[in-house]
Amino acid sequence: MEVFTRDRLKILKNLYIQGLIFPKNVHLERNTQLLQSKNLVARFPKIPHLLGWLTGKYPSSLEEVRYVYH
């Protein structure tokens, strides 16, 4: 069984909450360019790397997490 640090669990929880909120944001934003400028669409390709960091399978830094998460 893998041990998660408190920071990793907090990030995972935030990703889960964000995943629940994301579809509502998509419905509110009808302008595609505005949606892309808010980086909601561009965020999806980066999430697997962040999940890799959360599980400890990929070496990463907190700076990368900030880049992916914000």
Q: What is the largest CA-CA distance in the chain?
A: 44
d(CA 65, CA 63): 5
Per-residue pLDDT at 60 = 46
Digit-coded pLDDT (tens) for 1-59: 456 677 777 877 777 766 665 555 555 555 555 555 555 445 555 555 566 656 665 54
d(CA 41, CA 31): 12
Q: Are 41 and 35 in contact (CB under 8 A)?
A: yes
Per-residue pLDDT at 12 = 75
**pTM here?**
0.27
- Please report, for residues 12, 24, 66, the alpha-carbon distance to residue 36 in angstroms, rounded to integers and kept in the order given: 23, 15, 18
How many residues does this entry show for the chain?
70
